[in-house]
Structures are given as structure tokens and as C-alpha cells.
Amino acid sequence: MNSIRLRFALLSPTLLFTLLAAFALPQPGFTTENWRPLFNGKDLTGWTPKIRGYAFGENYAKTFRVEDGKICVRYDGYSDGKFANRFGHLFYNEPFTNYVLRVEYRFLGEQLPDGPGWAFRNSGIMLHCQNPETMLTEQEFPVSIEDQLLGGDGKTPRSTCNVCSPGTHIVMGGKLITQHCNNSQSKTYHGDVWVTAEVEVHGNGKIIHRVNGETVLEYEQAQLDPGDPDAQRLLKAGVNPMISSGYVSLQSESHPCEFRKVEIRTLD
């Protein structure tokens, strides 16, 4: 013990402080934060759009753009002011497996008049997406799991961070769920308020939805729907029916919305 004390005493004050700080600070892989921004606040670097009817990478009418440090979904350039079922998705260029994704979003403005009724104040965070380069030109949605983001109309209760399953099924409470959308237990968020959506993904295991820090939905075992034509193409190509990883994307569904923060924390 005396020899250890002597060695520390011989160290310079600067080096001693550095060593003590290194032991005191959380080490990589053990901290509870380690958030990595996926959006730089300036442009769409790292993101690529896929809009129905257009090739991967073609950002029709600047549907996705950056304004005032936010990713914005806009329709002011759409011909005749019509949506025409041009469902869009903005993909991050890297797949993920085990992670927590956190997004701050809000709805504002008016929906395009020909947008479907269910798409009023509707967007989503798509998880475990198929490779967007394998999507057909006319494909509306990627095969994926959707953390569905919804806003209220000022009167009617409407939960957010529900789960929808384009081309997929999930297991909830030990039962295979084939119903396309299932509601969460969140409260309703009316108006143009900012909401924080967080989704925790454990590969093919549990997926947890949170709204403003509160857990509102849990499910697991995301898997391809063998009866869906888009999923059938993936199955024929040899894709594992049990989905454990994939791309993430943000939706465009006919109502203007904004995302001011998109960040991820990878899990071991």
C-alpha cells in the first residue's frame, strides 16, 4: 500500500488529475446516454427519399427539406395541390439492430384536400425497414414496423405512437397480431405542440414505444407477413422471415409535419 501511495505522489498534478478523471467518468458502452444525432440540423446529409411513383433518391417537389434547423415535410410544390397517393419515406442510409431512437415531431398547417382521412395529422417512424433500394417504384410503404405518430383534431381522443405493420406481423401478449394497426395507451396531443417519441428496439425481441418518457406500448417478434405481396418478394429473395434489423425512415402522408431532432443510442 505504501509503495502505491509513493507512486501516486511522484506523479505530476496534471497527470494525476487525468488518471482520476478517466476512472471517474462513465466508460464507453456503460453510459446511459451516448446519443448520436442522425440529423445535422443543416441539410439532409445521410438521408435519402423514396416517394411513390419516383425512383429512390428523387425528392419530388422538395417534399423533404430542411428549414430553420428542422426536417420539414411540405407539399407546396405538388401539382394542382393534390397528394395523389404519393406516400413518401425519408431513409437514413444505415441499418440498425439494437437501439433506442428518439424523435421530436409536430404537425402544423392543413392536410392536402385529397389526402386520405386517416392521414390527417399522421406520420410515422418506420423501423426494421427493407432496404429501400429493393422497393418497387409504385410501392406505397416499405415492409417495416411503424411507430405511428398522430395528432389530435382538438376534440376527439387520439393516441400516438401506435404500431402499424405494413407487410409484417408482430407478437403481443404472447399472441400473433395480424391486425394492421394497434393503439397505444398514450394521451392525445392536440394543436402544433412538439412531442418526443422514443422507440427501444431489441432486434427480433422486444420493441417499446414511449411518449414524452412514458411507456405506452410493447410488442415483440416482428416478422414478415407471408400473405403480403411486398413481403412475398422478400421471402422469395431469401430474407429471413423473423426481422431483427433494418433501416429507419420518416414518413410523408399528406399532412405537413416537422422533425427538429432525430438521434439514436445503440445498445449492446
Put the strands of the sheet holding 162-164 in their side by side order. 47-51, 88-92, 247-252, 122-129, 145-150, 162-164, 181-182
The amino acid occupying position 256 is P
Number of domains making up the chain: 1
Sign of CA dihedral 133, 250, 49, 81: positive
**Alpha-carbon distance 31 to 141, whole Å?**
35
Q: What pTM did the predictor assign? A: 0.88
Q: How many CB atoms lie within 10 A of CB 32?
A: 7
* 94 found inside a domain: yes
Show the domain range for 81. 31-266
**Alpha-carbon distance 180 to 253, whole Å?**
17
* 12 found inside a domain: no
Nearest to 128 by CA among 73, 193, 204, 68: 204
Q: pLDDT at position 33, please? A: 67
* 10 found inside a domain: no
Nearest to 145 by CA among 172, 164, 162: 164
* 255 found inside a domain: yes
* 217 found inside a domain: yes
* 124 found inside a domain: yes
Q: How many CA atoms lie within 13 A of 75 on its CB side?
A: 26
Sign of CA dihedral 13, 15, 21, 24: negative
* 187 found inside a domain: yes
Task: Answer for the pair 146, 130: CB distance below 8 angstroms, yes or no.
Answer: no
Nearest to 246 by CA among 214, 218, 209, 207: 207
pLDDT in single tens digits along all 268 residues of the chain: 444 444 434 444 444 444 334 433 443 333 446 999 999 999 999 999 999 999 999 999 999 999 999 999 999 999 899 999 999 999 999 999 999 999 999 999 999 999 999 999 999 999 999 999 999 999 999 999 999 999 999 999 999 999 999 999 999 999 999 999 999 999 999 999 999 999 999 999 999 999 999 999 999 999 999 999 999 999 999 999 999 999 999 999 999 999 999 999 999 8
CATH number, position 157: 2.60.120.560
* 7 found inside a domain: no
The amino acid occupying position 222 is A
